[in-house]
Amino acid sequence: MNIYRYEENPLITPADVKPYHDGFEVIGAFNAGVAEYNGEVLLLLRVAERPISNDPMIVKAPVFNPETQQLDILEFRTDDERYDFSDPRVIRNVNHSGTFEYLTSLSYIRVARSKDGHRFTIDDKPLVYPTQTLETFGIEDPRVTQIGDTYYIYFSAVSPVGVGESMVSTKDFVNFTHHGMIFGPDNKDVLIFPEKINGKYYALHRPTTKSTGNPEMWIAESDNLLYWGNHKHIAGLREGMWDSGRMGGGAVPIRTEKGWLELYHGATLDHRYCMGALLLDLNDPSKVIARSNQPIMEPEADYEKNGFFGDVVFSCGALVDGDVLKMYYGVADTSMACAELSVKEILDSLTYL
């Protein structure tokens, strides 16, 4: 697989983003959704900001308060034995293993704009910021599907009652309609197909199940993009392989002659995130035709291996120009990068089932 990583990588780093909140630092500008609007490439960055702590014994947790529309900042002592601070992203209660109590940063969506897809200018203010009780821990990992002249932007809405997928829509990136939560908790990695198939809208999604099952890929259909049904499980984890721990959709599905090409992320149980692909039937996208046995991209560059949470390549959007696929991707839960791959080479690399 030929992969051309841009020389400018990482294209956007936290140092390029001015904090929106006083007394905070930007620790991540990553996992961006991608859109083309008015002749520009827009990256809808997940910006993560953290309250600065001057005391190494204190870990702070920012929480959006829907009543005041401000952030509350909670403080925890690192020697408090009720909590586990070993994962820098979260504060866990030692008695509830698996779940987390608080996040150490708050994420929201901010836009970076570019004429050439390489050099970006970052807006001063958020594009989509928490407003509701289901978003008090932040909004994360946006994806964008353009249908006609409407852009549907959907993201993980994180709060103490769970992580679900909520959606807003806009025609101009100024005025928004909030459609509420379209996939209830726990669910992430929703990808809405860019056109109807046999009269229905389709979306990939990734429930996290607690009774039986694993974090794997599902598909659902809808008449109106808001109410989703006829859920089907389409692809699962593979023991001993690069996608043995968790998996979820990445970029908006791309129509090719051979089928819908879905770039997805897979991780091992020790959290090494790679990108691979699924090929779905053009007429019935619940049918998986082919899949990557080997990742199409793995964390290799220094900026992919090292960062806030290292060994992560995680794409939320790509642009296609003929055979050239420009995959924008978050690196190490810290920054944004881009790489060009050949659509044909990806398709040729897949193993048919």
End-to-end Cα, the chain, rounded Å: 20
CB of 89 to ligand MAN, least distance (A): 4
Of 43 and 343, CB closest to ligand MAN: 43
Return the range that interacts with ligand MAN (CB under 6 A); candidates 50-58, 71-79, 155-163, 256-264: 155-163
Of 306 and 342, CB closest to ligand MAN: 306
Q: Is 75 helix (H, G, I), strand (E, B) or coil?
A: strand
Residue 64 dihedral angles phi and psi, to the nearest 5°? -75, 130
333 CB neighbour count, 10 Å cutoff: 22
CB of 100 to ligand MAN, least distance (A): 6
Rounded CA separation 13/43 (Å): 13
- Tokens 């900001």 sit on residue: 49
Per-residue tokens: 328: 């924008």
Annotate each residue in 125-144 with x if it binds ligand MAN (CB under 6 A) or - if it does not, as one string: ---------------x----
**Residues 334/152/136/21 CA torsion (nearest 10 deg):** 50
Return the range that interacts with ligand MAN (CB under 6 A); candidates 156-164, 203-211, 234-242, 335-343: 156-164
213 CB neighbour count, 10 Å cutoff: 12
Annotate each residue in 239-278 with x if it binds ligand MAN (CB under 6 A) or - if it does not, as one string: ----------------------------------------
CB of 155 to ligand MAN, least distance (A): 10
Of 110 and 326, CB closest to ligand MAN: 110
Q: Please work out, in degrees rounded to the nearest 5, the angle formed at the alpha carbon of residue 263 by the alpha carbons of 106 and 88.
A: 30
Q: Whose CB is nearest to ligand MAN?
A: 89
Residue 156 as a binder of ligand MAN (CB under 6 A): the answer is yes
Residue 292 as a binder of ligand MAN (CB under 6 A): the answer is no
CB of 90 to ligand MAN, least distance (A): 5
Q: What are the angstrom distances between the C-alpha of 19 and each of 34, 88, 172, 303?
A: 22, 19, 24, 21
Q: Is 213 helix (H, G, I), strand (E, B) or coil?
A: coil
Residue 103 as a binder of ligand MAN (CB under 6 A): the answer is yes
Q: Choose which of 41, 144, 163, 280 interacts with ligand MAN (CB under 6 A).
A: 163
CB of 28 to ligand MAN, least distance (A): 8
Per-residue tokens: 298: 């793995």
- Tokens 């091992």 sit on residue: 268
- Please classify residue 304 by burial: count the beta carbons closer than 10 Å to its beta carbon, then call 0-12 exposed, 13-18 middle and 19+ buried: buried
Q: Choose which of 106, 158, 247, 278 interacts with ligand MAN (CB under 6 A).
A: 158
Per-residue tokens: 274: 């790679």
Q: Choose which of 90, 127, 220, 327 interacts with ligand MAN (CB under 6 A).
A: 90
Count residues binding ligand MAN (CB under 6 A).
7
Residues of this chain that interact with ligand MAN (CB under 6 A) are 89-90, 103, 140, 156, 158, 163
